[in-house]
Amino acid sequence: MDAASFKTWLDAYKTAWETRDPQAVRELFSEQAVYVERPYQEPMRGRDAIAEYWSHIPVTQDDVHVRLEPLAVSSDLGIAHWWASFLRIPSGKRVHLDGVLAATFDADGKCRLFREWWHKREV
């Protein structure tokens, strides 16, 4: 993984989230990927489980905006700071997220381990 490849992956992740496309998210991960959304929570295992998790996004989020800033890349690891905002369905409240992600990649550029830490503000 180099800086350009990580940026390309982040751009695809951003597009998948903003278009609320769980299948596009699925394609970013390896078959046996592990996705850790929150510490102390059981991780999702496998790209099908990840796609299932993301299948709830289109029915719970609207008007999604995502920004990602790569912070570091080293061999198979990329770290980024990210921000997202969206309207919560059905409440219509604006949600703001601020987080950091660490993604480990296989030789094909698919994410095999995804960990994130984030905070939420709802207005």
pLDDT tens for the chain, 123 residues: list them.
Answer: 999 999 999 999 999 999 999 999 999 999 999 999 988 999 999 999 999 999 999 999 999 999 999 999 999 999 999 999 999 999 999 999 999 999 999 999 999 999 999 999 999
Cβ burial of 56 (10 Å; 0-12, 13-18, 19+) is exposed
Strands 94-105 and 111-122 come out as antiparallel
Give, in words, the CATH class of 3-122. alpha beta
d(CA 46, CA 32): 4
pTM, full prediction: 0.95
Choose among 6, 20, 21, 11: nearest CA to 89.
20
How is the chain split into domains, by residue range? 3-122
- In this prediction, residue 101 carries a pLDDT of 98
